[in-house]
Amino acid sequence: MRLDKAVTLNGMTRSEARKAIAAGRVSVRGGIARDVGMQVEPGDVLVDGRPVEAPRELYIMVNKPAGVLTATEDGRQKCVSDLLPEDLRRRNPGPVGRLDKDVTGLVLMTTDGQLAHRLISPKWKAEKTYLAKCEGRLTEADIETFAHGIILSDFTAKPAMLRILEAGDDASTAQAILTEGKFHQVKRMFAAIGHPLTALSRTRIGCVTLDPTLQPGQCRELTVEEREGLMELCGLKE
């Protein structure tokens, strides 16, 4: 791309771009550039030391600890945004959906509104996996009930997959896979089958599994494979 065209990517008109170039405000790979027609990669061009391209979107996974709100700010309580390093937080990524304050595990945060919207929309059926600890012994009948959908007071939860990992007389552990995420949905589904939850954690959203090396409270940017997997799942892959 021509240099003057690349400079317009930051919002300048072509004539403003040419004036900025003539004034020596534009550099390409570290050197002042004065030839308006030189061929450049936009990523190499700075105006007044700042990149001309809009910063790329941010995609982050957070391992949310209990006691933290899934929000960007709150006057008094700690939020998932407070767990991000300052340079990422300043770019204002928002959480994709919500985990209750007492629920732990995977929260995705992004500046990409379209992806966020599709990941929480039932239309795109992005699976979320939860690890649930509940009271009492889970049985095959509970698996069947989940698979048929559960009638709750204000809506019917869509069919979901329940996999029992451990069943004891007093407590059981299971994996639940849902494609929707209404308010307190997993807690309400377990309560409705007579097994109130004692702990809940999210371990997966679509193709993104919570990185086991992330301690509670830690975060990292998604890898290219994770990001592209989500894009593909949501029909956004170019």
Calpha distance 167→42 (Å, rounded): 58
Nearer to ligand URA, 8 or 185 (CB): 185
Query: By CB under 6 A, is residue 46 in contact with ligand URA?
Result: no
CA–CA distances in Å: residue 226 to residues 101, 129, 219, 223: 26, 16, 14, 5
Nearer to ligand URA, 118 or 187 (CB): 187
Query: By CB under 6 A, is residue 133 in contact with ligand URA?
Result: no
Which runs of consecutive H residues, i.e. helices, occur in the chain? 3-8, 14-22, 86-89, 113-120, 140-148, 185-192, 224-233
- How many residues are listed for the chain in this entry? 238
Query: By CB under 6 A, is residue 62 in contact with ligand URA?
Result: no
Query: By CB under 6 A, is residue 186 in contact with ligand URA?
Result: yes
Q: How far is the CB of 188 from ligand URA (least distance, A)?
A: 6
Examine the residue annotation and report whether 100 is marked as an active-site residue of this protein. yes
CA–CA distances in Å: residue 66 to residues 99, 189, 193, 200: 10, 21, 25, 10
Nearer to ligand URA, 143 or 152 (CB): 152
Considering the candidates 100, 102, 142, 211, report the single residue annotated as catalytic: 100
Query: By CB under 6 A, is residue 68 in contact with ligand URA?
Result: no
123: which residues sit within 8 A by CB, 6+ positions away?
A: none
Q: What is the binding site for ligand URA (CB under 6 A)?
A: 99-100, 103, 181, 184-187, 200
Which residues are known to be catalytic?
100
